[in-house]
């Protein structure tokens, strides 16, 4: 007889390297056999603009134990590892859980198939004007991934410009940033703002 318990794995990172500011997400895999065949069970949303991201997505896990062993009701170990350290070791790392007993935790990060593909976008506008006569025109745009409930994830922010007919610099967004398993009803939202540093 077995007893199953549904768990949720939540993830956050602290003090990531600077390149993570352009976008970071985590892929969760598990190994179900002694041959170390890993299978993807979930991935977080992509968070841009943070070196200390806390991911909204919680990965569901079914934990099974033999009925005679009781249920999973307490924590046997806790381990912390910086993502920077993991990346410095080529995306694969073994960490000691109980050094005196030789217990190890293996952590691995793999690229997704979409990680090498990207969209090159180029935006322009015509006849822009400031929403208020007392503030000069200094327009910029933001592209976000939006979902029900008001959740938004920044994909790109342009440079501000005072040109009334601006042609902003072209930019690239990885396709992987558009695939967010925790936001099934996602929409791409584009907002244009006037950048006034000294205004309220």
Whether the Cβ atoms of residue 173 and residue 119 lie closer than 8 Å to each other = yes
Reported as a single tens digit per residue, the pLDDT across 19-36 is: 777 888 887 776 655 566
pLDDT in tens, 98-142: 577 665 656 665 554 545 577 788 888 888 888 777 788 888 888
Chain centroid to Cα 29, Å, comes to 16
Q: Rounded to an integer, what is the distance from CA 119 to the centroid of its chain?
A: 18
Residues 33/37/43/47 CA torsion (nearest 10 deg): 130
> Which of 8-22, 75-89, 99-113 shows the highest mean pLDDT?
8-22
**64 or 122, which is more confident:** 122
Residue ranges covered by each domain of the chain: 2-110, 115-194
pLDDT-derived band at 74 (thresholds 50, 70, 90) equals very low
The pLDDT of 38-53, averaged and rounded, is: 81
Question: Distance between CA atoms of 79 and 185, rounded to whole angstroms?
Answer: 34
Q: What are phi and psi of 51, to 5 degrees?
A: -100, 0
What pLDDT is stored for residue 57 in this prediction?
83
> Cα torsion at 79, 84, 88, 94 (round to 10°)?
10
Higher pLDDT, 76 or 64: 64
Find all residues with CB under 8 Å of 78, minimum gap 6, and list them. none
What confidence category does residue 3 fall into, taking pLDDT thresholds of 50, 70 and 90?
A: very low
**Where does the chain show beta strands of DSSP type E?**
2-12, 27-31, 38-43, 54-66, 92-98, 103-108, 118-121, 139-146, 152-157, 171-174, 187-194
- Whole-prediction pTM value? 0.43
Read off the pLDDT of residues 137-179 as tens digits, 9 standing for 90 and up.
888 888 888 776 677 778 888 999 999 888 898 888 877 676 6
Nearest Cα to Cα of residue 163 among 120, 133, 124, 122: 124
């Amino acid at each position: 007889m077995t007893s199953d318990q549904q768990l949720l794995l939540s993830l956050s990172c602290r003090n990531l390297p600077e390149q993570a500011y352009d976008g970071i997400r985590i892929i969760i895999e598990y190994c179900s056999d002694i041959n170390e065949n890993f299978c993807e069970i979930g991935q977080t949303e992509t968070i841009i603009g943070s070196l200390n991201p806390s991911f909204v997505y919680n990965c569901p896990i079914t934990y099974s134990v033999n009925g005679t062993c009781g249920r999973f009701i307490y924590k046997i170990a806790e381990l912390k590892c910086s993502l920077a350290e993991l990346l410095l070791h080529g995306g694969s790392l073994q960490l000691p859980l109980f050094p005196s007993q030789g217990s190890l935790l293996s952590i691995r990060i793999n690229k997704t198939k979409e990680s090498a593909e990207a969209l090159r976008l180029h935006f322009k506008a015509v006849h822009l004007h400031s929403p208020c006569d007392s503030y000069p025109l200094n327009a910029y745009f933001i592209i976000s991934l939006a979902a029900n409930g008001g959740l938004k994830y920044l994909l790109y922010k342009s440079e501000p410009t005072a040109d009334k007919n601006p042609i902003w610099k072209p930019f690239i967004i990885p396709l992987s940033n558009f695939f967010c398993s925790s936001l099934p009803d996602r929409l791409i939202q584009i907002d244009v703002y006037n950048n006034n540093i000294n205004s309220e």
